[in-house]
Amino acid sequence: MAEIKNHKIPVYAVLVTVLFKLLFLLTHYIQEDAFITWRVAQNLLDYGVIGFNGNEKISASTTHLYVFVSYFFNLIFGKENFIEPLLIFNSVLFTIGSLFLSNLLLKNVWHKAIFIFLIGILPPAIKISILGMEYGILFFLEMMLLYYGFNKGKKWALIILPPLILFTRIDTVIFLGVVFIIDLFWNRKMRRPYILGGILGMGGVLAFNWLYFGELVNNTIVAKKLAYDRNFTLEQDLEYFMQNFGNFWGMLKLPGDFNPLTVVLLVFEWLCFIYLVRQKEKRNFFLWVIFIFGWVKQLVFLSQKSLFDWYYWVPQILLFVPVLLFVLEQKQKRNLWLALLIMFYSIPMLAFQTVHSIATGNGEWNYRRTIGLFLNSYEKDKNQWIFLEPAGYVPYFSGLKTIDEVGLVDKKVQDEIRKDKKNFWLNTVKSRKPKYLLSYNDLFTSENAGYFKLHYKLIKEFRVKDHLKSDNKLLEKIYILKPSGSDYNLYERID
């Protein structure tokens, strides 16, 4: 009986970790792109079409599976009440994923419990759980594949899970590919069910995209590649790498080009990994998988100049795993090692993420959301168009039809970028004549001020500084310490 109770300790750790992280719901820190997915889900609910603006089909969300999950949460809880249940669901799935990972790498139940909690309070783990993105589901599915497919040898997992993973994000072909290659070298044979699962997954995603949207890859990938494409020399590439790598491997975004904490962490992660794999244990297969995947994923995305930090959340977590294993399995002075890790890393990281979540939540929920709410009450005709960037909070809460500057939710922008990238913004305004423009700039002092003065009027200015006050003095200090958001000007067409 005592042994059965001990085996439940990691499960209790899952519950404690989820409950602890739910405190972050109070910060209202939700990623902008989550609202794009949720609007797509609600468009499916309202129009029966996977799109963003009425009956027009478009893969405006990066993730198909999460769109359907969000659709069912909207259906069950209603549009007004689905967000919190969905965020809790994401947090639970991520933490169960960390339970699978602990079972792959650790034997001692107390070590598993500590591992689950310390992984769960890392900044990227908090963001995966609470920010509304698809990575909670993704982490759960990926760790489930490793646990049931490659640890337990379950054929159903090898066949079913790859398609689900690929329907969550098509770029997970990197994860599946790394697992396949390492498994091939490790076991000197191919797992036919896994190959079948991969074929079904890639074939299914590509077929779905082609038959439903008329494209092979998601529109979001095409749009970002087109909008953010820059031709760099080798020297510029190296400079770009040095400017940005520190903010993605280190879990901590700091101003400036050089982040010394990242270098220290990278070196320590490598030392811990080398120390662990030299022990020649069965779990080494999984250590190689997560570590190689972490590096490959980050190098691929950084080489493509992908600066959205959510691409790096899962790799950041997996690369940190060897550090936790090293500390937990010290035979001498383990408690000292653990205390040092918690005191000098876990607590500072948690404190940083808390401040970041409070400040960014204020900038997103209390500020950017108000722009959408203002438009929702100001404009009753929801068939009117707004041209803006980004396409998250404001379109979601205003309910207006939307043109975004990247072309994520409206493909016609991509046509303008291809024709004349330098002047696509003005050309889009002239050809589409949206009723509203939301701009970071003062259009009446711009190069084309004459056109905008003739056709638009300024109806409201939105300023970050107006949202840095709070009755709670501690919150106000955090808002002022780390103001979040951008100033906007809202224009309405007058002809």
Domain residue spans of the chain:
359-493
Strands 436-439 and 385-388: parallel
Cα–Cα distance for residue pair 346/91, rounded to 1 Å: 19
- Write down the pLDDT at residue 300: 86
Residue 417 main-chain phi, psi, to 5 deg: -65, -40
- The one-digit pLDDT tens for each residue of the chain (495 residues) are 444 557 899 999 999 999 999 999 999 999 999 999 999 999 999 999 999 999 999 999 889 999 999 999 999 999 999 999 999 999 999 999 999 999 999 999 999 999 999 999 999 999 999 999 999 999 999 999 999 999 999 999 999 999 999 999 999 999 999 999 999 999 888 899 999 999 999 999 999 999 999 898 888 888 887 777 766 677 766 776 666 655 555 565 555 555 677 778 888 899 999 999 998 788 999 999 999 999 999 888 877 777 778 888 999 999 999 999 999 998 888 889 999 999 988 999 999 899 999 999 999 999 999 999 999 999 999 999 999 988 889 999 999 999 999 888 998 998 888 898 888 999 999 999 999 999 999 999 988 999 999 999 999 999 999 888 888 889 889 888 888 888 999 999 998
CB 311 within 8 A of CB 128: no
Cα–Cα distance for residue pair 472/482, rounded to 1 Å: 16
Alpha helices in 278-312 (DSSP H): 284-303
User: Coil, helix or strand for 82?
Assistant: coil
Residue 489 main-chain phi, psi, to 5 deg: -120, 135
CB 25 within 8 A of CB 87: yes
Task: Locate 259 and state its tokens.
Answer: 């982040």
Task: Locate 396 and state its tokens.
Answer: 């979601």
Question: Distances in Å between the alpha carbon of 446 and those of 100, 131, 390, 440, 452?
Answer: 55, 35, 20, 11, 9
Neighbouring CB atoms inside 10 A of 141's CB total: 23
Q: Running DSSP on this structure, what letter comes out for residue 469?
A: -
First-to-final CA distance of the chain: 78
Cα–Cα distance for residue pair 317/248, rounded to 1 Å: 11
Picking from 383, 387, 370, 394, the residue whose alpha carbon sits closest to that of residue 424 is 387
CB 342 within 8 A of CB 350: no
- Write down the pLDDT at residue 304: 76
